[in-house]
């Protein structure tokens, strides 16, 4: 029997779900800002990106670590919310915590609903890729809907100044699209990395 390698030890460590969610969110947030600096067209409006990479970490953290991963994302989101919206006079602790809770737990709520609907056990053995897609799309719609409700109360500048019903719909649709696309990019990247790591692990065991 082979002793566990360093990757297995790290993955199974008790702080890992929280660290993955928090540090993964912060890392993707920094990458998001960098991408939007070089590709400003992706920055649709304040708080709305056409590709939102941190949403992918949210989905991965929930799928891999469940509620503990979502709690980690919540912690990381506190940093990004203060970093991005901290200059707004209307942003108090209640608004900040609401934004962080929406960002962190929308994917967890939708995963629980999908597991209940599809009768998937807690070990997720019956989880199929189609179920993951349902989680990705539904959490994007839920997160965008709840975020827009909060953003309308924060007196954001730009597109949020006296928007028409059509403009409100476009803001919601752009945010949902950004969450879904960001989640898909990270999910597919995660699957590719997992397959590569699996292959390397198998080859190393044969040696």
* CA separation for the pair 90, 74 (Å, rounded): 21
Of 62, 64, 75, 132, the residue nearest 101 (C-alpha): 75
Asked whether the predicted pLDDT for residue 150 surpasses 60, the reply is yes
- Contact between 2 and 205 under an 8 Å Cβ cutoff? The reply is yes
Q: pLDDT tens digits, residue range 2-55?
A: 555 555 566 567 788 899 999 999 999 999 999 999 999 989 888 899 999 999
In the chain, where the domains are located:
48-198
Q: pLDDT-derived band of residue 103, with 50, 70 and 90 as boundaries? A: very high
pLDDT at site 1: 47
């Amino acid at each position: 029997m082979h002793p566990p390698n360093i990757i297995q030890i790290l993955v199974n460590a008790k702080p890992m779900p929280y660290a993955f969610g928090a540090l993964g969110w912060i890392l993707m947030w920094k990458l998001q800002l960098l991408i939007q600096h070089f590709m400003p067209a992706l920055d649709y409006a304040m708080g709305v990106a056409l590709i939102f990479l941190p949403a992918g970490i949210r989905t991965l953290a929930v799928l891999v670590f469940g509620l503990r991963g979502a709690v980690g994302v919540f912690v990381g989101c506190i940093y990004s919310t203060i970093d991005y919206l901290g200059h707004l006079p209307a942003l108090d602790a209640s608004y900040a915590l609401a934004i962080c809770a929406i960002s962190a737990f929308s994917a967890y709520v939708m995963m629980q609903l999908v597991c209940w609907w599809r009768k998937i056990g807690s070990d997720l053995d019956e989880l199929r890729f189609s179920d993951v897609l349902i989680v990705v799309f539904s959490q994007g719609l839920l997160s965008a809907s709840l975020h827009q409700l909060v953003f309308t109360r924060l007196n954001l500048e730009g597109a949020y100044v006296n928007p028409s019903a059509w403009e409100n719909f476009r803001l919601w649709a752009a945010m949902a699209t950004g969450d879904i696309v960001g989640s898909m990019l990270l999910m597919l990247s995660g699957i590719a990395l997992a397959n590569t790591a699996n292959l390397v692990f198998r080859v190393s065991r044969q040696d």
